[in-house]
Amino acid sequence: MSEHSLTLVDRKKIQMSGIKHVNNFDEDEVILETGLGFLLIAGSGLHVSMLNLEEGKVNLEGQVNSIEYKEPGADIKSKGKSILNRLLK
């Protein structure tokens, strides 16, 4: 597996390498697995413009609001939720 890199241009285009797996994808959130853990990308109108998992490359387009890394084994389901939302669940 190649090194992981991420290039964000104008909060609208992301080019990534070192991606192992796409765990979840919709127009508001993308969860990817890298060699170093999980990568969560939140935004609106997100779509995949290029996907090549054999080479570990993924390109996304859309409005990017946040990018967050989680360690391997972390609870990725609690991402992005405020403490109040988690307590009231």
- List the chain pLDDT tens, one digit each, 89 residues: 579 999 999 999 999 999 999 999 999 999 999 988 999 999 999 999 999 999 999 999 999 999 999 987 776 665 455 545 545 55
Residue 81 dihedral angles phi and psi, to the nearest 5° = -90, 140
| Amino acid 35: pLDDT | 86
**Residue-range domain boundaries for the chain:** 5-87
| Amino acid 79: pLDDT | 47
The CATH architecture annotation of domain 5-87 reads Sandwich (2.60)
> What residues are paired with 44 via a beta bridge?
63
Answering whether pTM is above 0.85, one says no
